[in-house]
Amino acid sequence: MNRVGTAVGDRIAHVVSEVFAPAVLVAVLLLVVGWHAGEAPGVSRWWGLPGAIFAAVIPLAYVLHGVRTGRLTDHHIPDRAARRVPLLFGIGSLGAGLVLMVWLGAPREVLALLAAGGAGLVVFALVTNWWKMSIHAGVAAGALATMTAIFGPAALAGAPLVVLGGWARVRLTAHTPAQVVVGALAGALVAGLVFPALR
DSSP string covering 59-113, please? HHHHHHHHHHTTSSS-TT--SGGGGHHHHHHHHHHHHHHHHHHHHHT--HHHHHH
Distance (Å, rounded) from C-alpha 37 to C-alpha 109?
6
Q: Above 60 in pLDDT, residue 9? A: yes
* Contact indicator for 193, 147 with CB cutoff of 8 Å: no
Distance (Å, rounded) from C-alpha 174 to C-alpha 44? 39
Q: How far is CA 173 from CA 24, 111, 162, 165, 176, in A?
A: 21, 35, 17, 13, 7
Q: How far apart are CA 180 and CA 185, in angstroms?
A: 9
Q: Say how far apart CA 77 and CA 30 lie, in whole Å.
A: 23
Phi (first) and psi of residue 67, to 5 degrees: -70, -45
In the chain, % of residues over pLDDT 90: 91
Residue 1 pLDDT > 60: no
Residue 91 sits at the vertex; the CA angle it makes with 136 and 47, to the nearest 5 degrees, is 85
H or E element, residue 176: none
| pLDDT computed for residue 4 by the predictor | 59
For the cut 80, the answer to whether the pLDDT of residue 3 exceeds it is no
Given pLDDT bands bounded at 50, 70 and 90, which one contains residue 188? very high
Compute the residue count for the chain: 199
Query: Does residue 187 sit in helix, strand or coil?
Result: helix
Task: Give residue limits of the domains in the chain.
Answer: 3-198
Segment 112-165, tens digit of pLDDT: 999 999 999 999 999 999 999 999 999 999 999 999 999 999 999 999 999 999
Max distance between CA atoms of the chain, in angstroms, equals: 58
Is 111 a residue whose pLDDT tops 90? Answer: yes
